[in-house]
Amino acid sequence: MSTPKNILMLPGDGIGPEVMGEVARIITWMNDKLGSGFVVEQDLVGGSCYDVHGCAVTDATMAKAHAADAVLLGAVGGPKWDNVAREHRPEAGLLRLRKEMDLFANLRPALVFDALIDASTLKPEVVRGLDIMIVRELTAGVYFGQPRGEDVRGGVRYGFDTQIYSQPEIERVARVAFELAKKRRGKVMSVEKANVMESGVFWREIVTALHKAEYPDVTLGHMYADNCAMQLVRNPGQFDVIVTDNLFGDILSDCAAMLTGSLGMLPSASLGARDAKTGKIPAMYEPVHGSAPDIAGQGKANPLATILSHSMMLRYSFDMAAEADRLDQAVQNVLAKGLRTADIMSDGCTLVSTSGMGNAVIKEMEALG
Ligand code: IPM
Ligand code: MG
């Protein structure tokens, strides 16, 4: 039996608990069959936490998140909490986890599975074989910049936020992008709006200097964010790794996600810096999709993005590449056999429920043994 691997599971709201339930079953299977040694604790986040504790995440849960080897999160939010004060909205729980765990690098792979090529709204020849990694800065920029708020100036009301980046904040996320590119196709596209924003000019300068000093073998390009959005739908195959700020990364990753056919397929990893003493990298894994309250509790949700987030956890937090490969392959096989949840359904395929998809993945895991 290997050393215990402590996972904090935060299913959250909407479809979060359903899709996380499938990962919980996969973890149980891995413990029973592979002796993986996962120790799982569950807790509340988002609206479901607000309903019980009056806030989107408690201090006690934050302490558990810091102590865990990895956090697995489902999804947060829903119309039920639309009128809750902003600091207690479900999203605030997610933002607190990201900020306080210092998860500055958000890895969002956009991968087109061959079996799902027809699920994309783009032509098959545009998206076939697509494999993009978006590295989104996650703990700074306009999401957290000060000052922010509302003001009355000269009798006129204003609302404002601040886009601000320090040199170390840019360097550390760019470094993650360069390192990933070295293990991929060796290309990084840095994205900002240097044509209109001071922070964009600064971003470009810092990334360029880091490239010259430490990563001359990686091919670096620069693109304005609006052009990048257009290029993603025009010719996505030109991209390998994209590195960008918090807000542009939020928008561009949704765009990249849809190239693959469904948000229901996309995992993500949010990573911090390795602790010099313990060697631990703070990490949280979550699907890119939201809580989809309209289909919650109906067994219709696609659990694959969360299952693939678990696979990223195996790879990045636990050095379990063989197990991650096996899980990824199981997902591919299930899709190749024509099993589909409603969001990726197409002619001639078999419609399955959330748990039907989970069962099929576990069965494939067995078969790949
Ligand atoms: C995401 C989401 C979040 C974000 C929301 C829920 C706060 O859109 O993870 O992409 O804007 O970062
Ligand atoms: Mg988003």
124-151 pLDDT per residue, tens: 999 999 999 999 999 999 999 999 999 9
CA dist 73 and 7 (Å) reads 10
Tell me how far the alpha carbon of residue 128 lies from the centroid of ligand 2, in angstroms. 24
CA dist 242 and 237 (Å) reads 12
Take residue 348 and report the two structure tokens written for it. 């001639």
CATH architecture of the domain covering 107-262: 3-Layer(aba) Sandwich (3.40)
pTM score of the predicted model: 0.94
pLDDT tens digits for range 221-258? 999 999 999 999 999 999 999 999 999 999 999 899 88
pLDDT tens digits for range 330-366? 999 999 999 999 999 989 999 999 999 999 999 999 9
Q: What is the pLDDT confidence band of residue 2, given thresholds at 50, 70 and 90? A: low
Please give the pLDDT value at position 118.
85
CATH 3.40.718.10 spans which residues of the chain? 1-104+272-369, 107-262
Q: Is the pLDDT of residue 1 over 60?
A: no
Return the percentage of the chain with pLDDT > 90, whole number.
92
Which residue among 57, 76, 94 has the greatest number of ligand 1 atoms within 8 angstroms of its CB, and so is best to mutate? 94
Please give the pLDDT value at position 26.
98
309: exposed, middle or buried (C-beta count within 10 Å: 0-12, 13-18, 19+)?
A: buried
Tell me how far the alpha carbon of residue 30 lies from the centroid of ligand 2, in angstroms. 31
Please give the pLDDT value at position 17.
98
CA dist 56 and 49 (Å) reads 5
1-104+272-369: CATH class: alpha beta
Q: What number does the ligand 1 atom closest to the CA of 106 have?
A: 9
Tell me how far the alpha carbon of residue 369 lies from the centroid of ligand 2, in angstroms. 36
369/153: higher pLDDT: 153
Is residue 38 a contact partner of residue 72, using CB atoms and an 8 Å limit?
no
| Short-list 255, 289, 284, 341, CA closest to 13 | 289
